[in-house]
Amino acid sequence: MSRVQYYCAMSLDGFIAESDDTIEWLTSYSPSGEYGGAPDDEAPMPGAYLRFYDGVGALVSGSVTYDFVRRDVEGGGEWPYRDKPFWLLTTRDLPIVEGDGVDIRVVRGAVRDHFDEMMRSAGGKNLWVLGGGNVASQFADEGLLDEVIVTVVPVVLGNGKPLFDRRLPGGAMRLTDVRPYAIGMVELTYEIRR
């Protein structure tokens, strides 16, 4: 059965980005504290992201997350979500990435208004709420979020953009899986109670 999953990384004190929306704290993380990220043999997977991504049929994000990915593509990177529908929830007019395998669908309005179409586009696989906290909160508010999968990175930011923008309806989530990684990260999987 298809699920709606919020999958992301978070600092130890609950932030998914700095106040200015940057994530260098994540991209430069290494257990020794040196910049440049974790060596390949210390990657937080091995295979955790690929295992998750294989189950994804479509993605949804807000404009800030999309803009971050778009800037990377414009800087010479590749669109990382090839051949999967990417739903962009925004009220802003943004440049749209084009290219082979890129399928960006811009929508405005309430999540519930587009939810059925998003799920159909996932083709029986899961819908990944890519970010950020506001988009995840919109899905939770409507009772449409099934699971939160968060990788806790042992970095303290002090302030920034929170995992969720507001309190979740329904109270406490139910922990269903814990995966520690040798580099100090821990992946936690929670089921949303309704």
Q: In whole angstroms, what is the distance from residue 6 CA to residue 9 CA?
A: 10
Q: What pLDDT was estimated at residue 115?
A: 98
Q: What are the structural domains, with CATH classification, of the chain?
A: 4-191 (3.40.430.10)
Q: What pLDDT was estimated at residue 32?
A: 59
Alpha carbon 59 to its chain's center = 9
pTM: 0.90
Give the bridge partners for 7, in sequence order.
149
Q: What pLDDT was estimated at residue 122?
A: 98
Q: What angle do CA 167, 169, 172 make, to 5 degrees?
A: 80
**pLDDT in single tens digits along all 194 residues of the chain:** 899 999 999 999 999 999 999 999 998 887 754 434 444 444 454 578 888 999 999 999 999 999 999 999 999 999 999 999 999 999 999 999 999 999 999 999 999 999 999 999 999 999 999 988 999 999 999 999 999 999 999 999 999 999 999 999 888 899 999 999 888 899 999 999 87
